Structure 1
Amino acid sequence: MGGATTIRTLSQDKRFKGGVALDSWMFPVRQDTIDFERKNLLFVNMEKFQGEKNLETMKRFEISPAEELETNVISLKNATHYAPSDILITLQNGYIGELALGKPDLEFSSFQNVLASSELFHGWIKNRLCAEMETFLTACRKYEERLLYGIKMPEK
């Protein structure tokens, strides 16, 4: 979903004011140097996809609590890797969808995951381009029960 591309673009092309990395696989950037302000990058993760090694790499790009925002890493609880895409909506409630993607989250539908991801994405971009934070904060408040803030390492 473009996380590594987003990170490299922010680092190499100063025309970009900010970026959102949706459920990033961090392996391609595990040794990259950080040549951009971390506050310009938002990670929107899906809780069920992120593993320990991936999160360890992501920590290098996370905003420390002393900076502008408390964190630039948000995770949707109980969401799978494909949650911000329409593939789950297309395949939900069908045998092939359940076989390939597992049982759907009955408390928060695939459509709701797409909406949450989109609203968080839109709010963050509006913040970076227009210096307007309220849209992002409104999305965070709206989905507060479904969000995890910061990097939470899996329990061993």
Structure 2
Amino acid sequence: TGGGEVVRYMARHPADKVAKAVLIAAVPPLMVQTPDNPGGLPKSVFDGFQAQVAGNRAQFYRDVPAGPFYGYNRPGVDASEGIIGNWWRQGMIGSAKAHYDGIVAFSQTDFTEDLKGITQPVLVMHGDDDQIVPYENSGLLSAKLLPNGT
């Protein structure tokens, strides 16, 4: 949710507090599918994440980095057990309640108006093979909504 936090901060504070920013693989403007956001992911995807966190959080924090998060599920890619283990460690030391609620925060918070109100230069970087945050509905859309976005 880091990119969302940057966008929300910049939209709510005077431009003299932040000169510029970079959004890297960030969730804005909105991840969940709605009538106004048909390119978003179905809510059932995020409900599934919450069910996994509630049901077996330890396994969830192993499965996500071992597969789609780092692209280790792609043919010919060697998974790094160190990176997977570190992701698991970070997940397990965090608050289960915060992680559960955070899924709603990063998937259902609409940053569209925030993006439109940011006047500072913002560089948007996002890979077109992101399996977690779809490129077309996040990076491309954010750059278009930002008045001074690249």
TM-score range, shorter chain: 0.3 to 0.5
TM-score by length of 2: 0.35
Question: Which structure shows the bigger proportion of residues in strand conformation?
Answer: 1
- Bigger RCO (CA 8 Å, 6+ sep): 2
**Larger Rg computed on CA atoms:** 2
Question: Which structure shows the bigger proportion of residues in helix conformation?
Answer: 2
